[in-house]
Amino acid sequence: MIVGLVITCEVAFWVLLVAGLAFRYALRMPRTGLALLLCEPLLEVVLFVATAIDLRNGAQPDWRHGLAAVYIGFTVGLGHSTIKWVDARVAHRFAGGPPPVRPPKYGTARAVHEWKVAGRWILAAAVALALLQGALWYVGDVDGAGSLRMWQERMLWLIGINVLIAGCYTLFPKREPAE
């Protein structure tokens, strides 16, 4: 049930995104489009509540519950930037908006950009870590809780990798080619 709900939430995320942008640009109903886009967080609330109810009803915590927590974390950390990214491209392509801003390629500006990207991924992982820890406290020390700890380890690796990547851009900035 939980995996199906995660898949449903992911599909609904993209359906709401497409519908929101269609209302915003194609149908020229920006308020309706905004209302559809603002419904996106409700998907995560539904998934969170369903996962909590499943655990409360005695389900053994396993990778499915961890997947739900990670999905919610990623949506919190990356959802807004994904919507902004798609919105800028749709506005440019179909509504005469300005071309999307490209990330800087060189120097300190690139390092700052990479730290912002890393920050979004770290936020996603931190939210997932918090939800996973909350689930561990919620169910107590039961069999199967090791899968939730496994997801926590993966989130810590994700944080480390993002810090490493952004740190490399800071310590070894890419230089502009000499002309």
Calculate the alpha carbon distances from 176 to 53, 107, 152 in Å.
54, 7, 39
Location of structure tokens 């936020």: 123
For residue range 117-152, what is the model confidence (pLDDT) as tens digits? 999 999 999 999 999 999 989 888 777 688 899 999
| 25 confidence band (pLDDT: 50, 70, 90) | very high
Could you count the other beta carbons within 10 Å of the beta carbon of residue 178?
Answer: 4
Q: Which amino acid is at 64?
A: R
pLDDT at 58: 84
Hey, where are the domains in the chain? 44-171
Task: Find, among 120, 128, 123, 117, the residue nearest to 154 by Cα.
Answer: 128
Q: Are 135 and 59 in contact (CB under 8 A)?
A: no
pTM more than 0.85: yes
Q: What is the DSSP letter of 102?
A: P
Span 69-93, average pLDDT: 95
> How crowded is the C-beta side of 118, counted as CA atoms within 13 Å?
21
| The pLDDT of residue 46 | 94
| pLDDT confidence band for 97 (50 / 70 / 90) | very high
> Taking all residues of the chain, what is their mean pLDDT, rounded to a whole number?
93
